[in-house]
Homo-oligomer: A and B are copies of this chain.
Amino acid sequence: MDMRPIGVFDSGLGGLTAVRSLWRILPGEDLVYFGDTARVPYGGRSRETILQYARQDVRFLRSFDLKAIVIACGTVSTTSLETLQAECPLPIVGVVEPTCRRALAVTKNKRVGIIATRASIRSGAYEAALHRLDREAAVVGRSCPLFVPLVENGRFRRGDVVIETVAREYLAPLKEEGVDTLILGCTHYPLLEGVIADVMGPEVTLVSAGEESAFELKRLLKADGRLADESRRGRTEFYVSDQAEEFEQAASIFLQEDVRHTARRIDIERC
């Protein structure tokens, strides 16, 4: 048993969908969440900038005595995971590998779609991982740069013509390619599950990045005998790099739980 907390970070709010999965899949664990709300979004930035930000995020989290880190950010996972793993002695779980394994387990026609930020698609990381796991898989990728700002502005509900129009435009090419499985490669996207499912139709299975990394982490901790006491309910601490109040408001929507007055602000550029 290892009662030390798990660190989780994201560029902003999106990683909270991974926190929700962790609460469900690993309810006994304490979590320390960092959302880099002063520098969100990461998805349109260059690889070097993302790596620099991610290093600071890891450095901040390591000021706590952690047992593992979850990169709850698709963009960091696709661009910087290996470098961060090489630089840090803690186990670091990203979203790419576990999500790809899951997608290949559910696809029947071996045509897998992947939607993510510009940086993630540009990295080719999902495509490479899918091909490494199954050489015959056909992969269709598409960046959806407006999904993050639309979600962060609360436009993720069915019946909203704005998100529905943007979703139809982004997803049409994937539908035409006949994918039967679609990876939601950014932790913001689970909030769009209803809208995306409507466009893709019932024959396409959606696979969420954040959820699969929670399962991956559970396997990892279990194998090493380092799960927390599962009879307790873990605590989660929230840290952000910009105003705590706005984060708390939005986080309460993402987590479907009231987290007012619980987030603390830190200066990430000093980390």
| A194 on the B face (CB < 8 A) | no
> A22 vs B23: C-alpha distance in the bound complex, in angstroms?
54
Contact with B along A143-172 (1 / 0, CB 8 A): 001100110010100000110011000000
| A260 on the B face (CB < 8 A) | no
Q: Is the CB of A162 within 8 A of B166?
A: yes
Q: B residues within 8 A CB of A243? A: 45-46
**With contact pairs A38-B45, A49-B38 given, residues A161 and B150 touching in the complex (Cβ less than 8 Å):** no
Q: B residues within 8 A CB of A49? A: 38, 242
| A39 on the B face (CB < 8 A) | yes
Q: Closest CB of chain B to A76's CB: distance in Å?
A: 15
Q: B residues within 8 A CB of A150? A: 146
Count of interface residues, chain A, beta-carbon cutoff 8 Å = 20
Q: Is the CB of A161 within 8 A of B165?
A: yes
- Copy number in the complex reads 2
Q: B residues within 8 A CB of A155? A: 146
| A230 on the B face (CB < 8 A) | no
Q: Is the CB of A153 within 8 A of B162?
A: no
A11-46 contacts to B, CB under 8 A, are: 38-39, 44-46
| A269 on the B face (CB < 8 A) | yes
> A45 vs B146: C-alpha distance in the bound complex, in angstroms?
19
A216-271 contacts to B, CB under 8 A, are: 242-243, 246, 269
Q: Which of A39, A162, A166 has the most CB of B within 10 A?
A: A162
Contact with B along A181-216 (1 / 0, CB 8 A): 000000000000000000000000000000000000
> A243 vs B46: C-alpha distance in the bound complex, in angstroms?
6
**With contact pairs A39-B39, A146-B149, A146-B153 given, residues A45 and B161 touching in the complex (Cβ less than 8 Å):** no
Contacts A45-B242, A45-B243, A146-B149 aside, 16 further interface pairs with beta carbons under 8 A come to A38-B49, A39-B39, A44-B246, A46-B242, A46-B243, A49-B242, A145-B149, A146-B150, A146-B153, A146-B155, A149-B149, A161-B161, A161-B165, A162-B165, A162-B166, A165-B165
24 residue pairs A–B, Cβ–Cβ below 8 Å: A38-B45, A38-B46, A38-B49, A39-B39, A44-B246, A45-B242, A45-B243, A46-B242, A46-B243, A49-B242, A145-B149, A145-B153, A146-B149, A146-B150, A146-B153, A146-B155, A149-B149, A161-B161, A161-B165, A162-B162, A162-B165, A162-B166, A165-B165, A269-B269
